[in-house]
């Protein structure tokens, strides 16, 4: 089951993607009021995008979102943590889609989320210090983790670092930049997997470049 904490339209789109990626399509959404379940257009959006979903459940408390699920995704505009580490159960994978900075000081996770996570992965490690990102800098300053124990998504995808080594570990991916690094990091793995399974159709590179002359090409 995938739990999604957030109520924006962007979160609804994230809900669809996260649930489809998880495979079982079982989604639990946090919405502001329990009596808005049937009328909430954001839940309707999730239902529209997740036609294969076996169960769609709306809850009014973030704590309920974190119980009995395998994946918890947060995508909010919160200034204070909406997900507490004490709620996480063994084997949970946490995704923080929004990452704050020293300018807005937005936070979705408390320090305990990082402290309890056996593996912490970010898109770009340097960005933690450059932006003084609260979700990560606060637990670092408290000694709950350190920069050398936080890995980059590219390192995970290329096998430089190992992922989860046993079922009960809690893992965390903090989407800490907006530069598309996560997409580039995953691209090589996706292509290799598709080729190994004989999936998809390979297209000629010429389709993705423009010609200025018969010999000169550049990307669009």
pTM of the complete model: 0.74
Domain locations in the chain as residue ranges: 2-179
What lies within 8 Å, CB to CB, of 14 at 6+ separation is 4, 6, 73, 75, 97
Tell me whether strands 71-74 and 93-96 are parallel, antiparallel or unpaired. parallel
Spell out a b/e string for 95-118, using b for 16 or more CB atoms within 10 Å of the CB, else e.
bbbbbbeeeeebbbbbbbbbebbe
pLDDT tens digits, one per residue of 193-206: 999 999 999 888 77
Token pair recorded at residue 161 = 């670092």
Which strands make up the sheet holding 2-5, listed edge to edge? 56-59, 27-30, 2-5, 71-74, 93-96, 171-174, 119-122, 150-152
Tell me: the pLDDT tens digits for 107-148? 899 999 999 999 999 998 999 998 899 999 999 999 999 999
Residue, of 19 and 35, whose pLDDT is higher = 19
Q: Is pLDDT at 38 greater than 50 in this prediction?
A: no
Residue 137 backbone dihedrals phi, psi, to 5 degrees? -65, -35
User: Could you tell me which residue, 61 or 44, shows the higher pLDDT?
Assistant: 61
2-179 folds as Rossmann fold (3.40.50)
Helix 41-49 crosses helix 9-22 at what angle (to 10 degrees)? 30
């Amino acid at each position: 089951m995938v739990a999604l904490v957030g109520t924006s339209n962007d979160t609804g789109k994230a809900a669809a993607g996260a649930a489809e990626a998880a495979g079982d399509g079982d989604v639990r959404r946090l919405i502001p009021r329990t009596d808005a379940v049937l009328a909430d257009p954001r839940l309707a959006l999730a239902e529209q995008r997740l036609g294969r979903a076996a169960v769609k459940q709306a809850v009014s408390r973030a704590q309920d979102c974190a119980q009995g699920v395998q994946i918890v995704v947060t995508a909010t505009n919160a200034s204070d943590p909406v997900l507490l580490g004490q709620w996480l159960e063994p084997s949970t994978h946490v995704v923080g889609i929004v990452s704050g900075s020293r300018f807005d000081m937005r936070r979705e996770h408390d320090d305990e989320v990082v402290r309890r996570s056996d593996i912490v992965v970010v898109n770009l490690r340097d960005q933690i210090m450059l932006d003084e990102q609260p979700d990560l800098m606060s637990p670092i300053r408290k000694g709950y983790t350190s920069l050398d124990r936080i890995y980059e998504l590219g390192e995970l995808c290329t096998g430089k670092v190992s992922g989860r080594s046993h079922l009960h570990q809690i893992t965390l991916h903090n989407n800490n930049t907006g530069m598309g690094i996560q997409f580039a990091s995953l691209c090589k793995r996706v292509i290799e997997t598709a080729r190994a399974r004989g999936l998809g159709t390979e297209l000629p590179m010429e389709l993705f470049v423009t010609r200025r002359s018969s010999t000169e090409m550049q990307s669009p």
